[in-house]
Amino acid sequence: MADGLGGRRPGKAVGEDLRRRAVAAVLERGMSYREAGLKFEVCATSVLRWVRRFEERGDVRADPPRGRRSRIEEERARVFRILKRRPAITVPALQRALAARGLTVGDAAVKRFLKRHGLQRRQRLAGRRG
What does the pLDDT read at residue 68? 75
Q: Cβ-count burial of 100 within 10 angstroms (0-12 exposed, 13-18 middle, 19+ buried)?
A: exposed
What average pLDDT does the segment 86-114 reach?
Answer: 91
* CA dist 28 → 21, 24, 36, 56, 62 (Å): 10, 5, 12, 17, 21
What average pLDDT does the segment 93-104 reach?
Answer: 92
Task: With residue 82 as reference, give the H or E element that holds it.
Answer: helix 76-85
Whole-structure pTM value: 0.49
Decide if pLDDT at 130 tops 70. Answer: no
Residue 118's pLDDT band, with cuts at 50, 70 and 90, is confident
What sign has the CA pseudo-torsion 97, 100, 101, 106?
positive
